[in-house]
A = this chain, B = another copy of it.
């Protein structure tokens, strides 16, 4: 396939590297500098003390008058608005969204492409520099349809070491990912701990349990106990991983709190549910966003 990936973060780099031997891949980055780094040196993947280089074509994103089979949107949710007009100009059969949270679902009506997919990524990835990522653990990517998509796509996308699972209910898939992100991300960022500590520390586990109860009261397709167990399992599997929100806070970046907990708060309000613990976490993160000194203190 002819694949265009928008976004040179850890996920964009990883997917580009995994696909480049089987597909014609172009990675669209925010800066000229990063595009040049990648085009010149390839994408560098560090995994199990090994280093592999993958040659990938990369360009700075300005316009996207391209033709492709698949456009993959791998930008953070708070960049969706900037990317949307470019995306609308890309002639492609299919678009795949890799966002956390669910706020990108609000944009779907403005995306004209025939097939839309969403995925949730369960690989443990960390970006080292503009062309280098560290793979801390491979799991799989869950993918589902948001508009006229079929399970056939996973045969095209997956490789031996890069697995995809088809999810009939993509809404539930996104909610499941959101539950994990809503609980693990703000907690790890505020407490400055790796994922594993949420499962290991009895006090933090108690918090995760309380938050699971609040989450399940809003998105009621799953029980509080199921949500809690799934959060614990993710924390254990990715014990050494730093959550994306902890990384963003450390780097003094914006976080995805609005796409994750923000959406949860809005949904709770609409359904007249009370979620005071999430409200507290939300305000703590929002009050601390963009204050890099929090992390160095």
Contact = CB atoms under 8 A, between A and B. Distances in A.
Interface residues of A, number: 24
B192 A283 contact: no
Nearest to A197: B287
A190 interface: yes
Interface in A165-209: 190-192, 201-204, 206-207
Nearest to A198: B287
Interface stretch (A29-37, A41-49, A88-96, A273-281): A273-281
A133 to B, nearest CB: 23
- Stoichiometry, as copies per complex, reads 2
A252 to B, nearest CB: 15
Contacts of A280: 207, 210, 277, 280-281
B191 A283 contact: no
Contacts of A192: 294, 297
A272 B164 CA distance: 48
A191 B294 contact: yes
Nearest to A286: B203
A295 interface: yes
Contacts of A276: 210, 214, 276-277
A284 interface: yes
A276 B295 CA distance: 26
Contacts of A202: 287
Contacts of A210: 276, 279-280, 283
Contact of A284 (B190, B214, B283, B297): B190
A288 interface: yes
Nearest 4 pairs of A and B residues by beta carbon: A203-B287, A203-B283, A276-B276, A277-B280
